[in-house]
Amino acid sequence: MYPYVYYPGLPNSEISAKAREVALVLDMKFMVRSTATTGAYNYAAISGVPSLLIERGGAGLCRREDIDAYKNDLHNILCKLELLCSPQQQQKHTPVDVTDVIYLETDQAGCWFSSCRCGDKIKQGDKLGYLTDLFGNTITVYNAEQDGIILYQCSALAAPKGTILVTYGKVKNN
């Protein structure tokens, strides 16, 4: 997973704008406006509470650098909300929007072999990876439908039907 943040796009633009404003203090390159209605942060937004889902780490790992980054993010959020009076932590990055996000899901079971890494910039037509059967025979080759950035991907070899293999979207130029 490449570090990024979701901010809710539902239920209304005021809640979304407040959440996005807070997301801007996070030290990461990308943010995604979610249109999902599931999950705790979306439930909070639907209930009128601006909220975020900060994505760091992945593959069940708990790395020290991710923990430290989360702590800095929380510090900056508390400063932004004027709940903490100390200065904000220095940001190396300010997130920009990633739009037209594609959650590439397999319609059959197989073994997943990725051709890219999280954070890679891709062009339309680039090979994202391929699915094989248990004997190594290629079932499907997946290519990018658009230019963008890889946000996360399946890190396991086994890919049951319905597995999201790769998630990517267009980086909005500000």
> In which residue are the tokens 């807070």 written?
22
Question: Residues 110-125: pLDDT tens digits?
Answer: 999 999 999 999 999 9
With 90 as the cut, is the pLDDT of residue 87 above it?
no
Average pLDDT, the chain: 92
Q: How confident is the model at residue 88 (pLDDT cuts 50, 70, 90)?
A: confident
Confidence (pLDDT) at 159: 97
Neighbours of 82 (CB within 10 A): 7
The pLDDT of 139-148, averaged and rounded, is 97
The proportion of the chain whose per-residue pLDDT surpasses 70, expressed as a percent, equals 99
Model confidence over 4-29: pLDDT tens digits?
999 998 778 899 999 999 999 999 99
pLDDT at 174: 53
45-71: per-residue pLDDT in tens? 989 999 999 998 777 777 888 899 999
| Contact residues for 153 (Cβ-Cβ < 8 A; gap 6+) | 114, 116, 118, 129, 165, 166, 167
User: Using N-to-C axis directions, what is the helix angle for 64-80 and 13-23, rounded to 10°?
Assistant: 120
Residue 166 near residue 18, CB atoms below 8 Å: no
Q: Could you count the other beta carbons within 10 Å of the beta carbon of residue 140?
A: 13
Q: How far is residue 78's CA from residue 156's CA, in Å, rounded to a whole number?
A: 36
Residue 35 near residue 16, CB atoms below 8 Å: no
DSSP state of 66: H
Omega prior to 11 cis, within 30 of 0: yes
As a whole-number percent, the residues of the chain with pLDDT over 90 amount to 73
- CA 17 from chain centre, in angstroms, equals 18
Other C-beta atoms within 10 Å of 151: how many? 22
